[in-house]
Structure 1
Amino acid sequence: MAEEVTTAGTDQDPAKEPGEAPAAPEGMSGSFVRSALVLALGAFVALMDTTIVGVALHSFSKHFGASLSDVQWVSTAYLLAMAALTPATAWAAQRFGAAASWTVSLCVFLAGSILCGAAWSIGSLIAFRALQGLGASMLFPLMRILVVQLAGPERMGRMMSLIAIPILVAPVAGPVIGGAVVQDLSWRWAFFLNVPVIGAVIVLSALCLPNSKGQLASRLDIFGLLTMSAGLAAVIFGFSRLGEGRPVTDIQVLLPLLAGMVLLVTHGVRARGRGTAGIVDFGLFRDRPFTASTTIALLNNFGLYGAVVLVPMFFQQAGGKSPLAAGAIMVAQGVGAAVAVLLVGRLIDAKSNPRALVLFGLLLVAVGLTTFAMADTASASPLLLGALLVQGIGLALTASPIMVTLYHSLPPTSVPAATTANAISQQLGGAVGTTVIALLLQHYLSSGDGVTSAFQSVFWWALAFVILTALPALLLPAGQPKRS
């Protein structure tokens, strides 16, 4: 690492604490921008990998002669592996330091990518995707922990906005790049593309990111980790099977969902009985800004799925576009998000009202989804391209402020635990949101009303979820963040 320090907080001032990492000046210095870009690049590759692999699933089936149900495990194994280690993020960040844990996670992800590209059977590919998922499991919460440690309250908006770019752009860029790679090269390059970029990020992380350890006295709660990780993985698995069209009474749906809920309840009851926070500190939900931000992040997955995944499916299935052409159309949304996210960071740091920003962002997303819900054809018309642009701006206005308000009134020592709890909520929200939208689409497609009509109905549902997300947004703070 470039530097290793031990600190229990995140506000770092060398004038007051000589042993701590140096604080940034009022503006965004070159070193801080470089650090943010390194973090954003690592997250971008990991996120884009997921969308590229989604495009390549058919190629896996053709190459290995595997059934669709077997090939689906390439994605499922990745998701379950991510769920297994995410709950340990706060402990790892405090015990070893967020930067050190970030670099190790990147190394595991890199190894998984190389092995996936060299896979010789569908079984080996599934196993190596699980390894890749273990590497990705901590990347996104660690990225946010590092931003809080590096930026401080004065620059958090701009730093969070920089790392929000990959979250908003990768799902748009992935299908375009994935389609080109699978079409012109080989499915193996869906994984080999990661190698040089992740290798560079590992080197730059070691050079640019100071490693700040927390004051951790307790050992890792193994039983708590097992109950939380296994419970989370079981619930995600159950919802993934449900989303494939299996009935809720199917043993592969009902059993994991029940087992997951029992394990999660066991974790919470045990933590409360011991009087300790456990792997996940449920006491954080007593803080209103944290609870509102986490609830928005969870519910936003429903609308996000509608905006990011349902739209390209609409162009493909209702408009007859190829995956590559549909992905190219989505560039309009990526442009709107990338431009707006940089502006919103400055607004946050200028002490703008985060509640108003999120509500306005949700309004713009709602406008975009309404346009698609009323569209009679799935052609790339100026109206739909404009709706995508507006939708991208709305997603950016929603994403960045809730990353900051999460920590609004929490002490710096709670940052790792808060980030981890929020990441778990997002994983659950993603699993549930994806399943609900997929089931709705299956229902309307089977009704016989036509493909375009089916998508219109689901867009209205996605709009309803966006409106529902506005309710917790009303509880967001309107003033400046409080720092202790």
Structure 2
Amino acid sequence: MSTASKPSSLDSTLLKVVAVVVVGSVMTTLDMTVVNVALQPLTLRFQTSLDTIQWVATGYLLALGMAIPVTGWAGDRFGTKRLFMLSIVLFVLGSALAGAAWDVGSLIIFRVVQGLGGGILMPAGLTIVTRAAGPHRIGRVMAGLGVPLLLGPIAGPVLGGWLVDVAGWRWLFFVNAPIGVVAVLLAWRFLPRDEPRPAERFDFPGMLMLSPGSAALIYGISTIPHRGGVTATSVWLPVVLGLVLIAGFLVRAAKITNPLVDLSLFRNRAFRTAMGTLSLFQISFLGTMMVVPTYFMLVRGESALTAGLMVAPQGVGALLTMPVAGRLVDRVGPRKVVIPGLVLIAVSFALLTQVGASTPYWTLLLTVFVTGLGMGMTLMPINSAALQMVPPTLASRASALLNIVLQTAGAIGAAVVSIILASRLADRFGVPASAGQLTATAALADPATHEAAAAASGGAFASTFAWTLLLVLLCLLPAAFLPNRAAPPSQDRDPAAAVHR
């Protein structure tokens, strides 16, 4: 058996590094969803509108998008360990201030501080574990990093609902303080020390284009479901502005030697293919998983807490396959793992196309479980494929670019699937797209129209899932070109050879 087929084991030092990064990362992934449950109580607490309070979530998301692009340069310039610890401190500071907020304006500002810390934390942590693991162990390491990604969507709504009911809204933010303190102490003790490397001059003009451009694009896309379509000025204007700024950055980055984001990474075929697969996967999968809880709440009349529990089998399924998938990626390459995972997800989405107002709960829970099995074989292995062939010296730049794709594609996916659902509901109830969900909610609340409205709403969700099934099937096209063999351990000793493969 070849050396590549017998990847070296994960030693205790590496496991400690992974554990520290997981502890730090779990705060940010939880915060993406934990606050959403509390938006309505916060609206009442601060006596403000839902549009205003929505900025508690939107401000956090935009700050993430603005911070991520600069982490590649900052990690090289100041060292990833220092950057990781600084990001945790910034995140915890923002959390403490948000918990002490005295009005909605201060809460939004402090959430932005949180988002800046979270935007730095994720790519910095990914860089640390990528360098510590090396290409031949990245699959198993990424399986460990998948834990926070699983906990966020599942535990966030449950934890958020419980904290609001039992401890009050301020503890949505104060709860991060003890986790952050532990994470900083563990990082100081166990993360490997890396000396800052001489970095090129900071691409300040690039930052002024890419960071605001990314934030504007994400904002415009994320507001589409709330504004009733792409024709609203508050949608198309930031989207166009974001695209213009990003296009300007790309043109400039192709002409200079020190761009904020290293576009030369796309010369690597494996990285390029993984980015394409990851983008399509995020759009189809994340969008669908955001709509599934809406089905439970709208069609089946469940509470937000119950709807969150209903998708918990997804996490169980992913936890079962993710460790196995990580080992297989290191042995046989990502393609042989990702494609079967996509097939599993496609099967589960095909089952979702048959949902209705009276679909048995055991069928729904089984379907979500199968989705989780497929997720464990796709999301982190695709990330592994992107990072396996990247030299350690470019790990920080690759991590930043990877997180930009994750955030942008996720926002696009949520908006696209929400638009499709709104359109399907509008068709079923014979109203404009902007009034589809409100009309369905009102009809479901009326006993006289509940049965017919439930049938119509269920059909709208089924047809929406048919579109997401198509998107998942499209993922198979770039996935067929993912690497079909494991990364050799020798790459650790000769990293430069991988850049232009």
- 2:108 is aligned with 1:102: no
Q: Does 1:453 align with 2:459?
A: yes
Matched ranges for 1:440-479 at <5 A: 440-448=420-428, 450-479=456-485
Which residue among 276, 280, 283 is the counterpart of 1:302?
283
1:130-171 Cα distance to aligned partner (Å, 9 max, x none): 010000012221121111111123422211110111112321
Query: Structure 1: how far apart are the matches of 2:235 and 2:361?
Result: 40
Q: 1:317 aligns with which of 298, 303, 307?
A: 298
TM-score scaled to structure 1, two decimals? Answer: 0.91
Distance in 2 of aligned mates of 1:379 and 1:184:
33
State how far apart, in whole Å, the 1-side matches of 2:231 and 2:144 are: 44
Superposition deviation, residue 57 in structure 1: 0.7
Aligned partner of 2:334 in structure 1 is 354
Q: Secondary structure at the match of 2:172?
A: helix
Which whole-Å CA distance do the structure 2 matches of 1:468 and 1:298 have between them? 11
C-alpha change, 1:301 and 1:378, in structure 2 (3 Å) is farther
Letter of the 1:158 counterpart:
R
SS of match in other structure, 1:244: helix
After superposition, residues 162-181 of structure 1 pair within 5 angstroms as 162-181=144-163
In 1, Cα distance between the equivalents of 2:258 and 2:477?
A: 28
Query: Does the 8 Å CA contact 1:305/1:437 hold for their aligned counterparts?
Result: no
Q: Does 1:35 align with 2:41?
A: no
Counterpart of 2:385, as a letter, is T
| 1:197 is aligned to 2:179 | yes
Q: CA deviation at 1:85?
A: 1.4
Matches of 1:86 and 1:378, distance apart in 2: 44
Partner residue, 2:403: 423
Is structure 2 residue 374 aligned with structure 1 residue 389? no
**Offset of residue 308 of structure 1:** 2.5
Q: Does the 8 Å contact 1:238/1:254 carry over to 2?
A: yes
Distance in 1 separating the partners of 2:38 and 2:199? 45
Distance in 2 (alpha carbons) for counterparts of 1:26 and 1:474: 27
Shift of residue 480, structure 1, vs aligned partner? 1.8
The range that moved more, 185-194 or 297-306, is 297-306
Q: Which moved more, 1:379-388 or 1:87-96?
A: 379-388
What secondary structure, in the 3-state scheme, does the structure 1 residue paired with 2:10 have?
A: coil
- Contact in 2 for aligned 1:405/1:481 (Cα 8 Å): no
Change (3 A) 1:338 1:378: farther
Which residue among 322, 330, 354 is the counterpart of 1:341? 322
Deviation at 1:246, TM superposition (A): 4.0
Runs of 4+ in structure 1 over 4 Å off: none
Amino acid at match of 1:437: V
Does the 8 Å CA contact 1:231/1:259 hold for their aligned counterparts?
yes
TM-superposed deviation, 1:378: 5.8
Identity among equivalent positions (%) equals: 36
Q: Could you state the TM-score of these two structures normalised by the residue count of structure 2?
A: 0.88
Whether 2:188 is the aligned partner of 1:206: answer yes
CA contact (8 A) 1:315 1:379 kept: no
Which of 231, 234, 246 is the matching residue for 1:252? 234
Note if contact 1:169-1:337 (Cα within 8 Å) is conserved in structure 2: no
Moved more, 441-450 or 194-203: 441-450
Q: Is 1:434 aligned to 2:445, yes or no? A: no
Give how far 1:232 is off.
Answer: 0.8
Instruction: Give, in whole Å, the separation in 2 of the partners of 1:66 and 1:149.
Output: 47
| Unpaired runs of at least 5, structure 2 | 1-6, 430-455, 495-501
Summarize deviations over 1:411-449 as a string: whole Å, max 9, x none. Answer: 222222122112112221112111111111111122235
Mapped partners of 2:82, 2:323: distance in 1: 28
The residue number in structure 2 matching 1:142 is: 124
Paired residues for 1:10-409 under 5 Å: 26-213=8-195, 215-274=197-256, 276-349=257-330, 351-377=331-357, 381-409=361-389
2 CA distance for matches of 1:438 and 1:293?
Answer: 26
Superposed displacement of residue 467, structure 1: 0.9
The aligned counterpart of 1:3 is none
What's 1:7 paired with? none
Q: Supply the distance in 2 between the matched residues of 1:343 and 1:169 (Cα, whole angstroms).
A: 19
The offset of 1:100, in angstroms, is: 1.0
Q: Which moved more, 1:287-296 or 1:371-380?
A: 371-380
Separation (CA, whole Å) in 2 of partners of 1:203 and 1:408: 29
Instruction: Indicate if the aligned counterparts of 2:287 and 2:418 stay in contact, CA closer than 8 A.
Output: no
Work out whether residues 93 and 213 of structure 1, in 8 Å CA contact, stay in contact via their aligned partners in 2: no
Q: Are the counterparts in 2 of residues 168 and 395 from structure 1 also a CA contact under 8 Å?
A: no
Say what the alpha-carbon RMSD is for the aligned residues.
1.7
Matching residue's letter, 1:382 = W
Per-residue CA distance 1:301-354 (angstroms, 9 max, x = gap): 2222244211111111111111111111222111111121112122223x1231
Match for 1:414 among 380, 394, 403? 394
- Structure 1 unaligned spans of 5+: 1-24
Q: Secondary structure at the match of 1:476?
A: coil
* Residues 235, 257 of structure 1: 8 Å contact kept: yes
User: Distance between the aligned counterparts of 1:139 and 1:82, measured in 2?
Assistant: 10
Q: How far apart, in 1, do the equivalents of 2:474 and 2:108 lie?
A: 37
Q: Give the total of aligned pairs.
A: 458
Name the stretch that deviates more: 285-294 or 102-111: 285-294
Mark the CA change 1:35 to 1:411 in structure 2 (over 3 Å): closer, same or farther.
closer
Query: Per-residue deviation at 1:379?
Result: 5.7
Which letter maps to 1:403?
N
Q: Taking structure 1 as reference, are residues 244 and 73 closer, same or farther at Cα in structure 2, changes over 3 Å only?
A: same
SS in 1 for 2:194: strand
Q: Retained in 2: the 8 A contact 1:165–1:341?
A: no
Give the direction of change, closer, same or farther, for the CA distance of 1:256–1:443 in structure 2 (3 Å limit): same
1:370-416 C-alpha deviation (Å, 9 max, x unpaired): 21221223666222211111111101100121122113333222222
**CA–CA distance in structure 2, aligned partners of residues 75 and 221 of structure 1:** 29
Question: Equivalences for 1:2-13 in 2 at 5 Å?
Answer: none
Question: Is 244-253 or 228-237 further displaced after alignment?
Answer: 244-253
The residue type paired with residue 345 of structure 1 is: G
CA contact (8 A) 1:227 1:266 kept: yes
CA–CA separation in structure 2 for the residues paired with 1:238 and 1:307: 20
